[in-house]
Amino acid sequence: MKPLRTRLHLRFVQQGGDCIWCGGQMQFPHKPRKFKNRPPRNTATVEHIIPLALGGADNVDNLVAACRSCNTKRGTRADFYPDERVLALLKTKTKGVSLMAKTRKGDWMQTYTGRVFWPLDPAPQDVCIEDIAHALSMSCRYNGHTRRFYSVAEHSVLVSRHVPPEDALWGLLHDATEAYLPDVIRPIKPHLTGFKEIENRLMDVICQRFQLSQGMPQSVHHADSAILADEQKQVMGGQPRDWNLLYPGLDVQIKCKMPSDAEADFLSRFHELVMLRNEPSGEVS
């Protein structure tokens, strides 16, 4: 029999990351952690359709994935069993995994949170801010040719702080495609046939997901180019040739944060901007 964690991941993927009971998006527990109190309420857990205490079998046919909150509420209550509608839904979702490869373009990748993502056929509902934050925090600028690790996540936060308030969220997410596609350096990207179209299609989907205007604002273009001067001075080695920079730097301080810190800062900035965007009188710095 497969380990319990493997069976949980199987059901998690088959269910599209949705809790079998409430339908909410779950977070897959990638590795055992020591939480100060309890794991997050949306953490994916194994749920036995017929509880073990009531004679249920401990096999994959009797297992589904449920969020910790629903699993805790259910317990072994006799009035909290899946009816035929729920079981049919599980069969539909299970079937959907095998059919996806035929109906969606290309192949899929597994994301940090355990989601299924199709880079060549992205959909807004597949985009997750936690996946973006984590991936960008683990990705180094300049293809790793820096004196110290300097993440795309830290770069994005800096850009978001040097554009007008209405463009700040765009600034934070301007490199979000790199969470799902390789970060191709500027000298090569124009020569990769079709890559720009794939990248643009993905960026359009990200814009839909986070309600951004289509097309990068000019202020973000400017900040993304201007910060090159700061990065050249602070994180790169000796300058073998002139970079031919278009703008002076933004006068930012690059701290080269650890991935975990850069990820936390990125998520904090995201939630700050989303909250302030929903408050017309809010001021973003």
CATH number, position 65: 1.10.30
What are the residues facing 281 on neighbouring strands?
A: none
| 131, 267 contact by CB (below 8 A) | no
Instruction: Name the residue among 263, 282, 276, 245 with its Cα closest to residue 157.
Output: 263
Is 24 a domain residue?
yes
Query: b/e map of 17-36 (b: 16 or more CB within 10 Å)?
Result: bbbbbeeebbbbbeeeeeee
Question: Same domain for 89 and 206?
Answer: no
pLDDT at 154: 98
- Same domain as 203, residue 89: no
Residues 128 and 222 in one domain: yes
Q: Is residue 112 part of a domain?
A: no
Q: What confidence tens digit (pLDDT) does each residue in 5-52 have? A: 777 887 888 777 888 777 778 888 865 555 556 778 888 888 887 777
CA distance 107 to 100: 9
Q: Which residues pair with 140 in a beta bridge?
A: 151
Which pLDDT score, from 0 to 100, does residue 100 have? 34
Report how far residue 213's alpha carbon sits from residue 24's, in angstroms, rounded to the nearest whole number.
Answer: 27
Same domain, residue pair 31 and 129? no
Q: Are 284 and 268 in contact (CB under 8 A)?
A: no
Percentages helix, strand, coil for the chain (3-state, rounded to 5) are 50, 5, 45
For residue 7, what pLDDT is reported? 76
Low-confidence stretches of the chain (pLDDT beneath 50)? 1, 78-79, 83, 85, 94-102, 282
Residue 147 belongs to a domain: yes
Which residues are CB-neighbours of 53 under 8 A, at least 6 positions away? 76
CATH number assigned to the domain comprising residue 177? 1.10.3210.10
Is the separation of the CB atoms in 80 and 22 below 8 Å? no
**Domain shared by 86 and 200, yes or no:** no
List CB contacts of 182: < 8 A, sequence separation 6 or more: none
Domain coverage including residue 45? 4-103
Choose one of 103, 137, 164: the last residue of a domain.
103
* Residues 47 and 168 placed together within one structural domain of the fold: no
Do 91 and 130 reside in the same domain of the chain? Answer: no
CA angle at residue 162 from 160 to 163, to 5 degrees? 75
Longest dimension (CA), the chain: 73
| CA proximity to 234, closest of 142, 160, 163, 133 | 142
Tokens representing 28 are 């897959």
Q: Count up the domains in the chain and report the number.
A: 2
Whether residues 205 and 162 share a domain: the answer is: yes
Rounded to whole angstroms, what are the CA distances from 188 to 133, 168, 216?
A: 25, 28, 21
pLDDT score recorded for residue 107: 87
> Beta strands of 44-162 (E only): which ranges?
44-48, 63-67, 109-110, 116-117
Residues 155 and 26 in one domain: no
Looking at the structure, tell me whether residues 140 and 187 fall in a common domain.
Answer: yes
Query: For residues 25 and 18, what is the distance between their CA atoms, to the nearest angstrom?
Result: 5
Q: d(Cα 248, Cα 160) in Å, to the nearest integer?
A: 17
- What pLDDT sits at residue 151? 98
Mean pLDDT computed over every residue of the chain: 83
Q: Give the Cα separation of 59 and 67 in Å (integer).
A: 19
The count of C-alpha atoms lying within 13 angstroms of the C-alpha of 159, restricted to the half-sphere facing its C-beta, is 31
∠ at Cα 71 (41, 96), nearest 5°? 90
For residue 162, being part of any structural domain is answered with yes
Q: What is the pLDDT of residue 95?
A: 43
